[in-house]
Amino acid sequence: MGLGDAKLMTAFGCFFGWQSIPVILFLSSIYALIFVSGPLLKKKSTLRTKIPFGPHLVFGALTYFIFGEKLINLIVQ
């Protein structure tokens, strides 16, 4: 994560509240893992290949925006 990603997470924290940050970060990591696993398995990229994390953060935030209450209820129960 770079400073742009940290600023983006700060904006999401201000918009959704600080409780959303771990959920968005977890969802974004899962999306990035899914996105990167294909090229890694096909040997088109290596573990040292840099990928932008910002689009995955945005997709995680959109998922939280749409399904946030259901996700929190699923985690708490």
Per-residue pLDDT tens digits for 6-63: 999 999 999 999 888 999 999 999 999 999 898 888 888 887 888 889 999 999 999 9
Query: How much is the pLDDT for 62?
Result: 96
Token pair 């398995």 is at which residue? 41
Number of domains in the chain: 1
Model confidence, pTM: 0.84
Candidate from 9-13, 24-28, 65-69, 73-77 with smallest mean pLDDT: 73-77
> Are 16 and 61 in contact, with CB atoms under 8 Å apart?
yes
Question: What is the DSSP track for 42-53?
Answer: TTSS-TT-----
Instruction: Provide the residue range defining the domain that includes 34.
Output: 3-76
Closest to 21 in 3D by CA, of 34, 8, 33, 31: 8
d(CA 26, CA 70): 15
